[in-house]
Amino acid sequence: MLIDYHVHALAHGEYEYSFSWIEEYLRRAQAQNIAQIGFSEHDWFEERIDIELVKGVAARSEFCRMMVRVGIEVDYKPGREPEISRILAQKPYDFVIGSVHHLGEWPFDHPDHKNGFLQREIDEIYQEYYAMIDRAVKSNLFDVVGHLDLIKVWGFKPTARQENHFIKPLLRGMRMSGTVVEINTGGLRKPVKEMYPSELLLRDLFAHNIPITFGSDAHHPEELGSGLSAALQTAWKVGYRKASGFTRRQSTSYPLSEIRQGIS
């Protein structure tokens, strides 16, 4: 019973919602033993998210045992809070992922802009990034923090000690707010070749009793569920025994033992 709450059927805009396209995702989910799937398009595609279409496909008898949810991934920037609130009020989303993809006007995870890491001190970049995540959490707009340490995407890293120093205030904020953090396996397909967050950070999350969920960050059916078995095993090794699912912005905990049985 794998769960995948980070799925982009529209990818970067090159695909469209259609009955056959969503059906392809759900059939792939069945083949991957995924019992819960959450579509989470980027917020700049909000007008193209068709919740009723997804529900229509999910209602087919062949998918009756699968939990199909529709959320949204929102790019957080300071000052966007009113706009984000407006976006979230437009549709009955099951969950909302808050992510940081920009520092100022710098889209740090875009391949055309990775040289920006060579123009500043790495510690300074990480400190700014985690401060931005902290602001996103404290906005209380989001249910899930997306790819917590995305800033490492190109392999530029501070020392572990420095990163721990930057993330401590954030951990306290997440614990107090009840925010869920996803284990996002998309990083395994990026130059860094690691999950988000790292196992070291995941141990910090567990120590602070911060709940988790899972997401493959799939942008195509072939990527759906990629790396989730490894993510599950890592979570279990760290000490987690539950993972979160969502319905209408409410989280529910599911035993990891059941999920582990599904991949044994």
Count of structural domains within the chain: 1
**pLDDT beyond 50 at 264:** no
Per the prediction, the chain carries an average pLDDT of 95
- The mean pLDDT value for 90-99 works out to 98
CATH number at residue 92: 3.20.20.140
Strands 180-184 and 144-145: parallel
Note the pTM of the prediction, 2 decimals: 0.95
Confidence class for position 144, pLDDT limits 50, 70, 90: very high
Q: What is the DSSP string of 242-259?
A: EEEEEETTEEEEEEHHHH
Domain that holds residue 68: 2-263
